[in-house]
Amino acid sequence: MAINPMKLLKLKDRYHCFKKDHPKIGSFASVASKEHFEVGAKVKIAITNNAGKTIGTEFELTPDDIKTIELLKELKK
């Protein structure tokens, strides 16, 4: 699978906009990245639309998820 470098640059720009518009996400990620995550840790995500309807999911981290988290932490170094 080839990755288009121009799309990566566009994604980087969008990331900076998202980070600026939602500063609490950056703070959360910073604090969370200092934690040690283990297999089986639970992740919960929910979104509530303007009409008040909420959808969400919950899952447990797998060994592959832990590898991905560690890789993302390395990108920040």
The 10s digit of each residue's pLDDT in 18-63 is 889 998 988 888 888 788 889 999 999 999 999 999 999 999 999 9
Do residue 47 and residue 59 come from a single domain?
A: yes
How far, in Å, CA of 67 to CA of 77, rounded?
16
Residue 73 pLDDT greater than 90, yes or no: no
Full residue range of the structural domain in which residue 9 is found: 1-35
How far, in Å, CA of 44 to CA of 58, rounded?
4
* DSSP secondary structure letters along 21-70: H-HHHHHHHHHHHTS---TT-EEEEEEE-TTS-EEEEEEEPPHHHHHHHH
**Mean pLDDT value across residues 2-11:** 86
Q: Which amino acid is at 38?
A: E
Greater pLDDT, 32 or 77: 32
Radius of gyration of the chain measured on its C-alpha atoms: 15
pLDDT for the residue numbered 77: 67
Do residue 24 and residue 56 come from a single domain?
A: no
Do residue 43 and residue 23 come from a single domain?
A: no
pTM for the predicted model, two decimal places: 0.65
